[in-house]
Amino acid sequence: MGPFGDRAEREHAFSPSRWARDFEASLARQAELGRRLRERLPPRRLGYGPGEREGVNLFLPESPGPWPLMAFLHGGYWQQLDAAATDFLAAPWLERGWAFASLDYPLAPGASIEAMVAACRRGVTTLRAAAASLCLEGRIRLGGHSAGAQLALMACLGEERLAGIEALWLISGIYDLRPLVGTYIDAPLGLDNERAERLSPLCQSLRGLPPLTLVHGEFDPPAFREQGEALHARARLAGVSADLRSLPDCDHFDILERLGEPTG
């Protein structure tokens, strides 16, 4: 048994679907909300690389610009889903006068997590470079859900970090990948202990990060909530402004639908 428990314990602890009330219904409901939004307000599809999954769904408000931008990374444990899964999140941001970008990125097993982080940086950099032509004002916030929260955070760490991000909005994220090594979750990822540590924000220096808003649900897996709490504490010790919020009566999946409410 390793420092994080045996494999069966880790697989249970880090399987959000086993803790959620009906994750398939949540994903289907969110996909339908996204379909309706795209039908009413078709997004612009912008490429930031040659790959099919190197693109962005960009939603622009109907009010006059220029607009600030919220860029968001979907979850799916680095191996599932796509930008369409989080398109529905654009609605409350558009109502507040923000543009919203759902980012695609390459998935495992075809791409490593390192390649995903690099792709996310390219996607945001491309949006920033095209800001004037897209009627964006230049302010950018970056967010992500679950594995997308890890990617968003890693994109703002290290020597090649994204600069100029106004704030990070991280929902039910995973910030220490070491417990995943050797689990079924890791099978398409091919992690070892050294790479898992390098890809874990909780194992990196957090100094210089933009302000963080960390959100989890009451029924998120305890392991996810504990990692969020640990990141909040470490960020504050590093001098980073960090806010930690727990939303009642929601799980790892349906929490996304609560984020547009006034209390969310």
> CB of 180 within 8 A of CB of 191?
yes
Q: 215 has which bridge partners?
A: 171, 245
Q: Quick one: which H or E segment has residue 167?
A: strand 165-171
Output the pTM of the full model. 0.96
What is the per-residue pLDDT for 1?
Answer: 43
**In sequence order, what are the residues at sequence separation of 6 or more whose Cβ sits closer than 8 angstroms to the Cβ of residue 83?**
55, 56, 57, 74, 102, 103, 104
Residue 91 dihedral angles phi and psi, to the nearest 5°: -55, -55
pLDDT tens string for the chain (264 positions)?
Answer: 456 779 999 999 999 999 999 999 999 999 999 999 999 999 999 999 999 899 999 999 999 989 999 999 999 999 999 999 999 999 999 999 999 999 999 999 999 999 999 999 999 999 999 999 999 999 999 999 999 999 999 999 999 999 999 999 999 999 999 999 999 999 999 999 999 999 999 999 999 999 999 999 999 999 999 999 999 999 999 999 999 999 999 999 999 999 876 444
What is the per-residue pLDDT for 249?
Answer: 96
CA distances from 209 to 25, 99, 143, 158 (A): 35, 23, 13, 10
Residue carrying the six token digits 């979750």:
185
DSSP result, 50-61 = SSTTSEEEEE--
Residue 26 dihedral angles phi and psi, to the nearest 5°: -60, -45
Residue carrying the six token digits 């945001």:
124
Chain centroid to CA 24: how far?
19
Q: Which two tokens stand for residue 67?
A: 């607009």
- Between CA 145 and CA 252 the distance in angstroms is 9
Q: Give the pairing of strands 136-145 and 99-103.
A: unpaired
In this structure, the dihedral spanned by the alpha carbons of residues 72, 160, 189 and 71, taken in order and rounded to 10 degrees, is 0
DSSP result, 180-201 = GTTSGGGTTT---HHHHHHT-G
What is the per-residue pLDDT for 3?
Answer: 63
- Between CA 90 and CA 78 the distance in angstroms is 21
- Between CA 241 and CA 22 the distance in angstroms is 34
User: Domain locations in the chain?
Assistant: 7-258
DSSP result, 196-257 = HHHT-GGGS--TTPPPEEEEEETTS-HHHHHHHHHHHHHHHHTT--EEEEEETT--TTTHHH
CA distances from 120 to 6, 49, 110, 183, 185 (A): 33, 11, 16, 25, 21
Task: Look at the domain 7-258 and name its fold.
Answer: Rossmann fold (3.40.50)
